Amino acid sequence: MELNYFALIIITLVLGFGAQAMIKHTYRKWDKTPSSSGISGAQAARRMLDANGLSNVSITQVAGELSDHYDPRTNVVSLSASVYDSHSVSAIAVACHECGHAVQTAQGYVPGKVRSAIVPVVSFASNIWMLALILGIIMSILGLIYLAIALFAAVLIFQLVTLPVEFNASRRALAFIQQSGWLTAGENSGAASVLRAAALTYVAAALASVLQLIYLLGMARR
């Protein structure tokens, strides 16, 4: 069992680090390429929001690298410093992706609503499942082990629901960028590469969780 779990850890680390390395490599490659239009990430975000009737959604600058996100509770698109003022292809792609989430919220995109609805449950499950598993193993209580597996499964469900949400936001972003004519054909290809690499990180995380859930189920049976 220890050997199998060690192998699982190695696979999980490879998936995680591999996905992170790809997004950073792709992002940095196209971050060195200025857009033909010369607009910044913040300007692209504002135009996409306004084009979708979302003048009520504000844009702010936050610290960190690739810390960009949209908060539906405050209706704010937060862009990292390297995206907010940057005129690169990467900056435009990332900024519009986050605006894609704002459009999803405004249009009542169902997977997005489901993800938001289960956030409290997933937050609790992610904090408690490991404790329940350890207690179940130490005390030899199978019920606790299955509870831990159920809690972990909730985390996995959240990750799986996140996939269509992220893919859809990227499709909205790329469609708007292409329609706007800000980028050349080659730059559009670069923007698509950045968005695909970002999506891969979510796929890798979900795949790692699937493997871990399979292992936990096998452990419970033994």
The active-site residue out of 2, 65, 98, 187 is: 98
* Alpha carbons 29 and 87: distance in angstroms, whole number: 14
Is 187 noted as a catalytic residue in this protein?
no
* Alpha carbons 85 and 8: distance in angstroms, whole number: 41
> Cβ contacts of residue 218 below 8 Å, gap of 6+?
none
Contact 157, 118 (CB under 8 A): yes
* Alpha carbons 63 and 47: distance in angstroms, whole number: 22
* Alpha carbons 129 and 143: distance in angstroms, whole number: 13
* Alpha carbons 66 and 50: distance in angstroms, whole number: 23
Cβ burial of 27 (10 Å; 0-12, 13-18, 19+) is: buried
Active site residues: 98
